[in-house]
Amino acid sequence: MSNEIDSRIVELTKRDEFKLFVKNNESVIVKASATWCGPCKRSTPFFMQIFNENIPKKIKLVKLDVDEGDDLAHYLRIKQMPTYIHFYRGEPQEIYMSSNKNEIINFFNKVIAYHK
């Protein structure tokens, strides 16, 4: 089971590889953060638990470290962290900039609604 979960998660840093990934996957969540970001560190375990346990397997996750992937962060217009963006059929649909657990739950509920 863990291999199945792991195959849904990729780390990308370049806009070209990201564009191709979004083009080839119907539903993609971007999780933008940084290693030095306190709110990112605090919210990541909760975010990942929900993603791994409750999100349909067809939804992919792109993890973006904004320091390593400044090209992609600039392309996505990341202004604060953590930022979560849901792309559906190549277009951004939901954008949340919060480490609040209720906001993360709201984000995931909106993502799931695209697949009902």
Residue pair 62/10 in contact (Cβ under 8 Å)? The answer is yes
Q: Are strands 91-96 and 60-65 parallel, antiparallel or unpaired?
A: unpaired
42 is catalytic: no
Cβ-contact 36, 69 below 8 angstroms = no
Q: Which two tokens stand for residue 98?
A: 């919060």
Q: Which residues pair with 28 in a beta bridge?
A: 60, 87
The active-site residue, picked from 28, 32, 40, 64, is 40
Q: Is 100 a catalytic residue?
A: no
Which DSSP letter does residue 36 get? Answer: T
CA distance 36 to 8: 25
Catalytic residue chosen out of the listed positions 28, 30, 37, 61: 37
Structure tokens at 52: 């791994």
Active-site residue list: 37, 40
